């Protein structure tokens, strides 16, 4: 415990998954499994940070961790409250003992300990009571946030399942727009994924069908603008079977990305 090299991120001390596993005398896989099993109880920015891309590059460049493999492209950093969550998950005497030591010897700065030792017993008692009240309030906030997220998930699933088949195209576009708001610049990837999944499930080639549709439009003497605007969603809309399959795929993607 005393050999822990202090690491800071966003002006607070944190622990890597490797450090946390070593402190709790377990494997890193156990830490990861604890997180995945109780993912709804961990709040980003409160219990942990996930570093990817430029953030990970900047952290690597800070030199706080030696020997971090270059092929690592995603890294979890655990806060004091994240360490507490893992202690609750492990739920054994050793984990709680280690957590107490982490708080006293790692997360709390040396200066704070020295300052605390100079306080009167009465002030220490008041400080302890204040900390307890603050922790209770934070726990309530966490519970509230989890409840809000759960309600949002329920509403998303309900909205996804209950749709109006009379306005199929509008319903599909509304769901796609909702996904776009969630995934941002990855939206085109999601749309491509939806078409690819449809082709696999229905055994069709949408691009070939689109070419055939445009050929028919040319024979019918339709304008070049109308022909150029024709797209794969038009092809799907014309086929009842494809519409049903694609509707199911969009529902799955909406729940996956928005719930």
pLDDT band at 183 (very low <50, low <70, confident <90, very high): confident
| pLDDT for the residue 197 | 92
Please give the Cα distance from 34 to 28 (Å, whole number): 10
Mean pLDDT score, 163-190: 77
In the predicted model, is pLDDT for residue 233 greater than 80? Answer: yes
Please give the Cα distance from 159 to 108 (Å, whole number): 46
In the predicted model, is pLDDT for residue 218 greater than 70? Answer: yes
Helix, coil or strand: residue 74: strand
pLDDT band at 40 (very low <50, low <70, confident <90, very high): confident
The DSSP code sequence of 216-258 is HHHHTT--HHHHHH--HHHHHHT-HHHHHHHHHHHHHHHHHHH
Give the percent of the chain with pLDDT over 90.
19
| pLDDT for the residue 162 | 47
Burial class (CB in 10 A: 0-12, 13-18, 19+), 220: exposed
Rounded to two decimals, the pTM is 0.42
In the predicted model, is pLDDT for residue 148 greater than 70? Answer: no
């Amino acid at each position: 415990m005393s050999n822990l090299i202090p690491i800071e991120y966003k002006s607070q001390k944190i622990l890597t998954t490797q450090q946390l596993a070593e402190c709790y005398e377990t494997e890193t896989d156990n830490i990861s499994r604890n997180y995945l099993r109780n993912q709804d109880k961990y709040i980003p920015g409160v219990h942990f940070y996930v570093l990817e891309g430029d953030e990970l590059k900047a952290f690597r460049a800070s030199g706080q961790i030696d020997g971090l493999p270059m092929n690592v492209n995603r890294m979890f950093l655990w806060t004091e409250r994240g360490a507490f969550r893992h202690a609750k998950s492990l739920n054994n005497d050793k984990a709680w003992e280690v957590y107490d030591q982490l708080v006293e010897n790692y997360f709390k700065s040396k200066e704070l300990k020295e300052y605390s030792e100079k306080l009167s017993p009465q002030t220490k008692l008041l400080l302890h009571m204040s900390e307890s009240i603050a922790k209770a309030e934070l726990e309530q906030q966490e519970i509230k946030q989890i409840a809000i997220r759960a309600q949002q998930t329920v509403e998303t699933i309900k909205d996804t399942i209950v749709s109006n088949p009379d306005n199929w195209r509008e319903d599909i576009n509304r769901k796609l727009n909702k996904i776009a708001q969630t995934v941002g610049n990855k939206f085109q990837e999601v749309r491509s994924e939806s078409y690819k999944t449809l082709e696999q499930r229905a055994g069709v080639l949408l691009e070939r069908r689109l070419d055939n549709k445009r050929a028919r439009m040319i024979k019918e003497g339709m304008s070049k603008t109308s022909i150029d605007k024709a797209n794969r969603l038009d092809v799907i809309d014309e086929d009842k079977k494809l519409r049903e399959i694609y509707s199911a795929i969009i529902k799955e993607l909406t729940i996956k990305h928005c719930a």
